[in-house]
Amino acid sequence: MTLALFLVDALPAGDTHVLDGPEGRHAAAVRRLRVGEELLIADGRGGTARCAVTAAARDSLELDVLERWTEPAPELRVVVVQALVKGDRGELAVELATEAGADAIVPWRAGRSIARWDDGPRGDKALTRWRATAREAAKQARRPWIPDIADPVGLPGLLDLTRSAALALVLEADRATRLADIPLPETGDLVVVVGPEGGIAPDELDALEQAGARPTRLGPAVLRTSTAAAVALGALGALTARWR
């Protein structure tokens, strides 16, 4: 059985640790872990430790650290650029992309995005929800790395990201070039751009191509913007060494 994972600010330096706060409360009160059971703690930056419960309180656990290790970051990082979408579909996109292995997610204020993250409290609140979603999805997937959720960008910021990447792909269902037909890099940042519900505007697509991005399709089906990144990440895991 896969051990439950809980996130901590830093791994303990010694052989014991007290898991308290929200994570300790979840482990003790919700998961009801008891003496002798094991769990994982991780710092979200690759550091992980396997621990055994030595004492259980109402909202905390005392742990013995049995072993610790650091999971290296992948040599090929996948950066998902997700266009803003209305309602909870944006959070669903973040959840699925995180579980599928995204290393970073960049919210994009696309021209055809219905959702608008204005500067100020409303935009900050939406970004906070995305970051909380990524954190919880990483725990669910037992990922030692929490993907970074960047500040939102407009087209100029996206073009800068495209130019600096080892490769940038734009998911477009009407293109003849398949993802499987494109040579993929082994290292560096691989940017995957997912447009909004109404598709990427022609001027944006032209600008991305001029910056070096490759429009490509995943398969015969037209995917929702909330699921496209996760499907692409699955294909990239199989087409590259990321899953090996």
Mean pLDDT (the chain, rounded): 94
**What is the predicted pLDDT for the residue at 1?**
65
Check if CATH label 3.40.50.300 holds for domain 76-239: no
Confidence of residue 222 (pLDDT cuts 50, 70, 90): confident
pLDDT tens, residue by residue, 147-163: 999 999 999 999 999 99
Confidence of residue 120 (pLDDT cuts 50, 70, 90): confident
pLDDT tens, residue by residue, 21-45: 999 999 999 999 999 999 999 999 9
**Helix 89-100 and helix 121-140, axial crossing angle in degrees, nearest 10:** 40
Tell me the percentage of the chain whose pLDDT exceeds 90.
87
pTM above 0.85, yes or no: yes
Output 34 or 120, whichever has higher pLDDT: 34
Average pLDDT over residues 48-77: 96
Output 119 or 11, whichever has higher pLDDT: 11
- Give yes or no for residue 195 having a pLDDT over 90: yes
Which residues make up the CATH 2.40.240.20 domain(s) of the chain?
A: 5-70
- Give yes or no for residue 86 having a pLDDT over 90: no
Q: What is the CATH code of the structural domain delimited by 5-70?
A: 2.40.240.20
Average pLDDT over residues 41-56: 97
**What is the predicted pLDDT for the residue at 50?**
97
